[in-house]
Amino acid sequence: MPHSRRYRSSERSSRGSYHERYRSRKHKRRRTRSRSSSSERDRRHRREDSYHVRSRSYDDHSADRRAYDRRYCDSYRRNDYSHERGEAYYEPEYRHSYEYRRSRDREGSYRSCKSSRRKHRRRRRRSRSFSRSSSVSILLCWASPVTFLSQVASWALTQLRGDVVLSSRFSSRGGARVALKIIKNVEKYKEAARLEINVLEKINEKDPENTNLCVRMFDWFDYHGHMCISFELLGLSTFDFLKDNNYLPYPIHQVRHMAYQVCQAVKFLHDNKLTHTDLKPENILFVNSDYELSYNLEKKRDERSVKSTAIRVVDFGSATFDHEHHSTIVSTRHYRAPEVILELGWSQPCDVWSIGCIIFEYYVGFTLFQTHDNREHLAMMERILGPIPSRMIRKTRKQKYFYHGRLDWDENTSAGRYVRENCKPLRRYLTSEAEDHHRLFDLIESMLEYEPSKRITLAEALKHPFFDVLEMEPSTKMWDSSRDISR
């Protein structure tokens, strides 16, 4: 509170004591120190800001995925010294799903300020929180004209706080529920959203009946600089369902249904000269993730079985047409093809490699290549799939990973022992000797071929013997696009 200056009357000016004058001078000095400490606190908070703001890494996935990594093997808890962690995996202008997190410690530090200063800082903190909020927020609402969706967007933007992802429902008479994606009002995120909208419009144009299992965009609009996109409402991602089910692998008949649909959806993209580049279980969503619950007496736990394996492929923010610029690094680390790591150039076959890794993950419940380092990633590939072809070694610019035509990897180091102990040849991951299981691994092996030119195409994959049972029993297909949206 500002201190008002008091003026003495003439009759009392002569009666002012020495102690009053001393207290006045002392109080003024105290005010000076207070201003100094205030500026010092401001500087200290500004320094702390730099420690509490970080971007979400594409190799980290999410907090759930990090816990999932730790579950795979205790050895994964060791530190990651990769220089590629974080935003380096993607060119910044193409990324739009970063999340920023704020520390609770900062909030605590503000509580010690005086009430007036605390109110001022709370206002400042709100404004900074909004500017650093998640680049994308998802809402559930009811489909209706753009006017109503604009009202939804207006409500959502007033509710954003920090890194929250909103999930709310709005009613409109006679409408169907949709998902509304709101992109942060930052130019690089908006540009990425425009690229995604362009891809989604092309998909809608080529597939007006939505028969090729790619997520359907209904509409998009700009609300005060925020790009808003409405999509069909889907269920959990295949990864989230796996996580919620304690990473219990999907049964092989469900793996077959899901793998066939993914191949069908991505083949449609490839036929239209488009590469997804970021296929992973998080970007494959169930149309309806309702499940049946049973109790496993042996393991003493509940186990979930999804009722319908109908899926949709989502997230086209990184999708690239053949004629467009191809970034050097694409794909999330665990699903990245060797030609991308070795910077040999990439095209549609890199999606096929990712699908092979995804199918393996559905079958066993954990990722095939659990690493964050290029050299270790290549060592895992050689341990699981055999030696890297000499042609690729000669052609790559990444000669630092090789010595005399072989991978420069010491198996006697701690990292070498780690790979040797936790990775094994692909066929040794089989959980059954049944013919279906061997056919599945034959398909995975053909998808994980080192040479992109020798890698199976998705048109060929759809004709693989592993999928023969689907042709014999078409009535058992579980990916019917119809669903009850009244729930």
Annotated catalytic residues are: 278
CB 257 within 8 A of CB 309: yes
Q: Which residues, 6 or more positions from 154, have their beta carbon under 8 angstroms from its beta carbon?
A: 223
Taking the C-alpha atoms of residue 71 and residue 227, their distance in angstroms, rounded to an integer, is: 38
Q: Which residues, 6 or more positions from 161, have their beta carbon under 8 angstroms from its beta carbon?
A: 129, 130, 133
Around 151, how many Cα atoms within 13 Å sit in the side-chain half-sphere?
11
List residues bridging with 320 in a β-sheet.
Answer: 275
Taking the C-alpha atoms of residue 36 and residue 40, their distance in angstroms, rounded to an integer, is: 6
| Residue 458 CA from chain centroid, whole number | 25
- Burial label for 446, CB within 10 Å (0-12, 13-18, 19+), is middle
Question: Which segments within 328-469 are labelled E, that is strand?
Answer: 402-403, 406-407
* The length of the chain, given as a count of residues: 487
Taking the C-alpha atoms of residue 149 and residue 226, their distance in angstroms, rounded to an integer, is: 13
Phi, psi (deg, nearest 5) at residue 252: -65, -30
Taking the C-alpha atoms of residue 63 and residue 69, their distance in angstroms, rounded to an integer, is: 10
List residues bridging with 285 in a β-sheet.
Answer: 237, 312
CB 357 within 8 A of CB 367: yes
Alpha helices in 310-348 (DSSP H): 338-341
Write out the DSSP string of 91-105: -GGG---------HH
CB 189 within 8 A of CB 228: no
Instruction: Determine the 3-state secondary structure of 183 from DSSP.
Output: strand
Q: Supply 464's token pair.
A: 């693989």
Q: Which residues, 6 or more positions from 105, have their beta carbon under 8 angstroms from its beta carbon?
A: 48, 52
Instruction: Determine the 3-state secondary structure of 330 from DSSP.
Output: coil
Rg (CA), the chain: 29
CB 363 within 8 A of CB 403: no
